Structure 1
Amino acid sequence: MNHHQRKILHAIFAHPVNANLEMKDITTVLNGLGAEIDSKTKSRIGVKLNGKETVLHLANHTLMKAEVMQVRKFLEDCGVSGGAFPV
């Protein structure tokens, strides 16, 4: 993972929940973690990481807090934490 990806990863796990993240940044982080990403429909992508799967909504805007929490929960289920990747 490069420096920008680690910064975004830490923003995902930040408290309070960060609501100014863009989906393209999230997909960049997921790619950096080695996730398989495939397009489901125009507005959704499937993500596979460490044997876990989820479907994320492709937003053309910044993600809402609930969407950031969904990504955070998925990463936690996959065993990923911000502390494992220092900035």
Structure 2
Amino acid sequence: MTNIMNLRRNVTTAVALTTLTTILAATTGCQTSLNGQTLPSPYYLQDDVQYFPAGPEFKLPREAAALRAARAEEKLNQQ
């Protein structure tokens, strides 16, 4: 008799957790990334907009300048 009661309690708990999880998932906005594209949540009209200005196209100007200087110094040392 206790096995049947335990089984019934486990089934009831599982159904309640599944129902709660489904309700939470349905009412929560989500943002997904699909094929490199970020798709908005259902609340995208209320979200604040983030703006990131474009940076320099070449990301390593100091390293390039250091390499040019090193090559020039190497040429001077070879002569």
TM class by shorter chain equals under 0.3
**Structure with the larger helix share:** 2
TM-score normalised according to structure 2 size: 0.20
Q: Compare CA radii of gyration and give the structure with the larger one.
A: 2
**Structure with the larger strand share:** 1
Structure of higher RCO (CA pairs closer than 8 Å, 6+ residues apart)? 1
